[in-house]
Amino acid sequence: MMRFERRWLGLAVAAGSLAFASSAFAQSKELVFGFQCDRTGPTATVGTVLCPGYHDYIDLVNSKGGVEGFKIKVIEVDNEYKVPPAVEAHERFKKEGAVLEGLYGTPQTAALNKKLEEDKILGTSPGFGTAAAADGKRFPYTFPIAASYWSQAGGAVEFAKEKMGGLKGKKIAYLFYDNPAGKEPLPILEDLAKSEGFDLRTFAVPAPGVEMGSQVTDIVQRYKPDFVITHLFGRAPSVSIKELKGKGYPLSKVVAFVWGSAEADITAAGGMGVAEGYNTLQFAGVGKDFQVNKDIVAMYKAANKPAPKEMDSTVYYNRGILNAALHVEAVRNAIKAKGGAAPTGEEVKKGMESIKGFTLGGLLPPMELTPADHEGGGWVQVWTVHGGKLTRTKDWFQGYRSVIQKHLAADASKS
Amino acid sequence: MFHREAGVFKTTYASDMALYPLPIAKWTMVALAVLFAIVLPASLEEYYLSILNLIFIAVVGALGLNILVGYTGQISLGHGAFMSVGAYTAANLAVRLGLPFWLTLPAGGLMAAFIGALVGIPSLRIKGLYLAIATLAGQLIIEWTINHVPAISGGAQASIQVPRPDLFGFVLNTQSRLYYFLLFFAALAIVATLNLMRSRIGRAFIAVRDQDIAAEIIGIDIFRYKLLSFAVSSFYAGVTGVLYTYYLGIANYEQFQLGVSIDFLAMIIIGGLGSVLGSIFGAIFVTLLPIVIRTLMENVGSLFFSDSELANVVSGTRLAVFGGLIIFFLVIEPEGLNRLWRNVRSYFRVWPFSY
């Protein structure tokens, strides 16, 4: 009995000192960022790499004294790609006084759009959510901050045009995951097919996307397209690489959207050697050669730790850095505008909307966020599997920007 | 727990069937009502109210599924889809016709009841695992239909934004206002289920569950009651979907996929099949436990790990702890939390004179 009581006493002391420590910590200048992640759900392969990238960049900023004198505290919540935990996460961030938050997942972004607006906390959703959210007037607190599926469609078609030297009379196959995100680019592709005079045929892959033999046979042997655009998720991209390769279609005439373009997808398809020539769209730079990657390695080295193994998966890791870097820049702008004081959620939103010419040595596109454009211009790069790694084949560009803007305006007037 | 039944005699059938078998139960009810209607909303922060809100919605859905699985002995893997049927019906009515929530909510429920009864038709011929697969097909067909029919889904994104519900010009847009909105429907669902189960219909459901051939022999129309059970259960699911829609401000079928059907099955199995209190326990357990585990682990773990390492450790071990606790509770009491609670209660009934 005595031992039992002593243990409780120990716990109480520990809890008390903990409470004291946290209250002492709160007195120093600190800003809270909320960050949702999926480390255990269906998209864990993305989350377990992307989220460490986010944390590492924030740690790097903190190790250099923080942003304008403020340390950043990240509260991460694993939403398991489910909606109720995402709602709970948002409420928790709000309670902890977060000035902004990172969203994770398309249904979760949809579910939180309205809440963000009501609570005046901006949320970023790079690669998630609807293309219409690029319109800052309709979705004032939602920031895609990366090329939407519409912009990616524009980019893919422009890349195809360049590769084939014109689109007139050509045939393009669109292989997509049969869910809302997969269908979203269809209006853009159909519009471009009409205006550019190419023939478009679409091939839907039902969930869970691991069985697409018949679709690929259809594409390769019956339709015989000049180019293939794929828009797949999860395990599906690697299956598509295998199937297309197996049925003899040249991968150099394939371009994948951003969720089919990571090293992990290519490795799962049999390695870089198998996927030689495979083209991928990217909204963040690829590789470990950026200054920020080197800085993170140096930070780990200073703490006598090996470089994080997640960094080897550069596509997702760098997307985490992109997300974190834009969060930090938004807050930096807001603090500067306020003369060094801690900003509110509304002011951070204005800070985000004034980001311009911040590229982090080429890891980020030359984007410009404005109150009307929360996508930042819809920039993409094309990276191609070549000689055992991803190499850059086309630098930052905006594919058919005017067409995308026309559709955004039409969508806004519809609702 | 703190009362004795001595001296309470039931002399009529009516008193035997009463909702509150003992006078003290009435007072407990009043105390609970005061707690939830006045004390909690006045004393809790918005964050805690938001968790309660999620629990309220889960309670409605769990009750509905328990009517079907626990009371009638049928199984459904399609309840996620029935929720989306309710959600899209209400969203379409609210956006296209501008109807208020007190019309769209029952409409969503009724539409879900209709679709649920259709999906339930195979239950007349098949049972158990076979029925599970048939309802699974229902889930997938409904998902596919919503995804591919723009008239229902409202376009390629398959999501429809709905305005916040308002009552006589009072817009329910904060967690504390939504709290009352959801509390009302959760309470309504609880009372309705309690009453349904002591009525003729509820008893027929139970008879079908225990032995359907015997039930048919004593004059219960199996065809009617099985479909009715599917319809009532789906009505609850539809209402759950509508509540989610108004709570989030958007209808989106990706929020109601197969995983949701399984989550709700988990709730009623952990809570206790065939009991109202069990559904409530299950909804609380499944919604609250991951949050509690995470909060505890973050506080303890921060002594050993840095923030960025902690995130990785917490999310992995949290699932393991959650799964472990489910196994633990089911091993010590396979009939669920409700039975566990009853055991504790009956132990204290005779305490300290147990023999």
Q: Do A37 and B255 touch (CB under 8 A)?
A: no
Pick from A58, A91, A186: CB nearest B46: A91
pLDDT of residue A1: 39
Chain B environment of A176 (Cβ under 8 Å):
none
From residue B25, how far is each of A331, B30, B33, B65, B186 by CA, in Å? 55, 9, 12, 26, 19
A28-147+287-362 and A149-282+380-414, same CATH topology: yes
Is 70 exceeded by the pLDDT of residue A16? no
Average pLDDT over residues A312-339: 93
Banded model confidence at residue A2, pLDDT cuts 50, 70, 90: very low
CATH of domain A28-147+287-362: 3.40.50.2300
* Chain A residue with the nearest C-alpha to that of B153: A180
pLDDT of residue A250: 93
Tokens of A324: 């974190």
Q: SS3 letters for chain A?
A: CHHHHHHHHHHHHHHHHHHHHHHHHHHCCEEEEEEEECCCCCCHHHHHHHHHHHHHHHHHHHHCCCECCEEEEEEEEECCCCHHHHHHHHHHHHHCCEEEEECCCHHHHHHHHHHHHHHCCEEECCCCCCHHHHECCCCCCEECCCCCHHHHHHHHHHHHHHHHCCCCCCEEEEEEECCHHHHCCHHHHHHHHHHHCCEEEEEEECCCCCCCHHHHHHHHHHHCCCEEEEECCCCHHHHHHHHHHHCCCCHHHEEECHHHCCHHHHHHCCCCCCCCCCEEEECCCCCCCCHHHHHHHHHHHHCCCCCCHHHHCHHHHHHHHHHHHHHHHHHHHHHHHCCCCCCCHHHHHHHHCCCECCCHHHCCCCCECCCCECCCCCCEEEEEEECCEEEEEEEEECCCHHHHHHHHHHHHHHC
What are φ and ψ of residue A9, in 5° steps? Answer: -60, -45
Long-range contacts of B90-99 (CB under 8 A, 24+ apart): B90/B162, B90/B241, B90/B242, B90/B245, B90/B246, B90/B251, B91/B154, B91/B160, B91/B162, B91/B245, B91/B250, B91/B251, B92/B152, B92/B154, B92/B160, B94/B162, B94/B163, B95/B154, B95/B160, B95/B161, B95/B162, B95/B163
Chain A environment of B308 (Cβ under 8 Å):
52, 55-56, 58-59, 74
User: Reduced to 3 states, what is the DSSP secondary structure of residue B337?
Assistant: helix
- pLDDT, tens digit, for every residue of B279-315? 999 999 999 988 998 888 888 877 777 766 777 788 8
pLDDT of residue A22: 47
* Chain B residue with the nearest C-alpha to that of A84: B54
Q: Do A110 and B319 touch (CB under 8 A)?
A: no
Chain B environment of A184 (Cβ under 8 Å):
156-157
Q: Do B307 and A55 touch (CB under 8 A)?
A: yes
pLDDT of residue B201: 95
Nearest to A105 by CA among A317, A259, A238: A259
pLDDT of residue A415: 64
Q: Do A107 and B252 touch (CB under 8 A)?
A: yes
Domains of chain A, by residue range, sit at 28-147+287-362, 149-282+380-414
Nearest to B61 by CA among B339, B246, B268: B268
Banded model confidence at residue A141, pLDDT cuts 50, 70, 90: very high
Banded model confidence at residue A99, pLDDT cuts 50, 70, 90: very high
Pick from B157, B294, B302: CB nearest A184: B157
Banded model confidence at residue B20, pLDDT cuts 50, 70, 90: confident
Q: Do B47 and A85 touch (CB under 8 A)?
A: no
Higher pLDDT, A3 or A270: A270
pLDDT of residue A148: 92
Is 80 exceeded by the pLDDT of residue A25? no
Chain B environment of A39 (Cβ under 8 Å):
311-312, 315-316
- pLDDT, tens digit, for every residue of A361-383? 889 999 999 999 999 999 999 99
What is the pLDDT of chain B when averaged over all its residues?
89
Site from A13, A39, A191, A296 to mutate, B interface, most B CB atoms within 10 angstroms: A39
Chain B environment of A233 (Cβ under 8 Å):
none
* Chain B residue with the nearest C-alpha to that of A114: B249
- pLDDT, tens digit, for every residue of B21-79? 777 778 888 899 999 988 998 898 889 999 999 999 999 999 999 999 999 999 999 99
**Cα of B50 to nearest chain A Cα, Å:** 7
Chain B environment of A18 (Cβ under 8 Å):
299, 302-303
Site from A35, A55, A57, A407 to mutate, B interface, most B CB atoms within 10 angstroms: A55
Q: Do B252 and A111 touch (CB under 8 A)?
A: yes
Chain A environment of B157 (Cβ under 8 Å):
110, 130, 132, 180, 184
* Chain A residue with the nearest C-alpha to that of B51: A88
**Cα of B298 to nearest chain A Cα, Å:** 10
pLDDT of residue A23: 45
Average pLDDT over residues B153-159: 80
Q: Do A107 and B255 touch (CB under 8 A)?
A: yes
Is 50 exceeded by the pLDDT of residue B274? yes
**Cα of A336 to nearest chain B Cα, Å:** 27
Pick from B51, B250, B315: CB nearest A110: B250
Instruction: Please give the Cα distance from A79 to B309 (Å, whole number).
Output: 17
Banded model confidence at residue B3, pLDDT cuts 50, 70, 90: low
pLDDT of residue A24: 44
Q: Do B287 and A84 touch (CB under 8 A)?
A: yes
Q: Which CATH superfamily is domain A149-282+380-414 in?
A: Response regulator (3.40.50.2300)
From residue B144, how far is each of A130, A182, A344, B330 by CA, in Å? 19, 14, 43, 35
Q: Which of A382-396, B78-92, B152-166 has the lowest mean pLDDT?
A: B152-166
pLDDT of residue A18: 47
**Cα of B80 to nearest chain A Cα, Å:** 13
Chain B environment of A60 (Cβ under 8 Å):
none
Average pLDDT over residues B316-339: 87
With a pLDDT cut of 70, the percent of chain B lying above it is: 97
pLDDT of residue B313: 80
Pick from A59, A113, A186: CB nearest B156: A186
pLDDT of residue A171: 94
Amino acid occupying residue B314: V
pLDDT of residue A132: 86
* Chain A residue with the nearest C-alpha to that of B254: A107
* Chain A residue with the nearest C-alpha to that of B45: A95
Nearest to A348 by CA among A324, A327, A365: A327
Average pLDDT over residues B344-350: 82
- pLDDT, tens digit, for every residue of A102-112? 999 888 998 89
Is 80 exceeded by the pLDDT of residue B169? no
pLDDT of residue A127: 86
Is 50 exceeded by the pLDDT of residue B219? yes
Chain A environment of B153 (Cβ under 8 Å):
180
* Chain A residue with the nearest C-alpha to that of B96: A415
pLDDT of residue B6: 67
* Chain A residue with the nearest C-alpha to that of B302: A18
Q: Do B156 and A111 touch (CB under 8 A)?
A: no
Q: Do A118 and B174 touch (CB under 8 A)?
A: yes
DSSP assigned state of B255: G
Chain A environment of B319 (Cβ under 8 Å):
40
**Are the CB atoms for A348 and A99 separated by under 8 Å?**
yes
pLDDT of residue A125: 93
Domains of chain B, by residue range, sit at 23-256
Q: Do B174 and A178 touch (CB under 8 A)?
A: no
Instruction: Please give the Cα distance from A410 to A408 (Å, whole number).
Output: 5
